[in-house]
A = this chain, B = another copy of it.
């Protein structure tokens, strides 16, 4: 069976978990305190990050490379559409969320509020939290604009772009940092993706010291 070394609220791990579950690849989850840079873990991934996916003799890191691998090795159901143009748009949006959204929102909110306490690196820096709270509005508006033109974020079919976005938003929703009233289109999109069987394990996550709000796992939030 595959084994994923992960951290429950890491959006990069959640994106891989969603891909694995959607493709019905059975996988054991192993929580990794990656910030402690344990020697065994560094042997698995010299970059010292999660996710790390073990499949047979293969040990893989870097969430983008892992998701492309899963897409090529387990093509059904497809999370990348056919056609270079459509695939470009999916990959552009995956980078948008994993790069820009991550730097402007996830780092400023989730990492300040949760990771600092978990990793013992001090109190949240309030100017960062404020920047994150401001930036998420702009990103939700961008998603709203996309979803008014498309059924899913990158086009007519659900794709890795939706999983990347849902991975970040679900981690932020765990700490009540998403204003679902800002856009009905975004709320409807999240309700649809949240109700997929692939999302169940994510809704069951629990980080000691940080209980999720009641709406977090509620499909009718």
Identical copies of this chain, number: 2
Is A39 in the interface zone, CB < 8 Å from B? no
Whether the Cβ atoms of B62 and A91 lie closer than 8 Å is yes
Which range contains the number of A residues in contact with the other chain?
Answer: 20 to 34
Q: A123: CB under 8 A from chain B?
A: no
Q: Identify the stretch in A92-100, A111-119, A163-171, A187-195 within 8 Å (CB) of chain B at 4 or more residues.
A: A92-100
- A207 lies within 8 A of chain B by Cβ: no
Q: Is A88 interfacial (CB-CB < 8 Å)?
A: yes
The one of B65, B72, B96 that contacts A95, using a Cβ cutoff of 8 Å: B65
Residue-wise, chain A 30-60 has the 8 Å CB interface mask toward B (1 for contact) of: 0000000000000000110000000000101
- A62-79 interface mask toward B, CB cutoff 8 Å, 1 = contact, 0 = none? 101110110011000000
B64 touches A91 (CB 8 A): yes
Interface residue A87 (Cβ < 8 Å from any Cβ of B): yes
Give, as a whole number of angstroms, the nearest-CB distance from A48 to chain B.
9
A154-179 near B? 1/0 per residue, CB < 8 Å: 00000000000000000000000000
**Is A84 interfacial (CB-CB < 8 Å)?**
yes
A43 to chain B, nearest CB (A): 14
Partner of A92, one of B65, B72, B92: B65
**Residues of chain B lying within 8 A (CB to CB) of residue A88:** 60, 65-66, 68-69
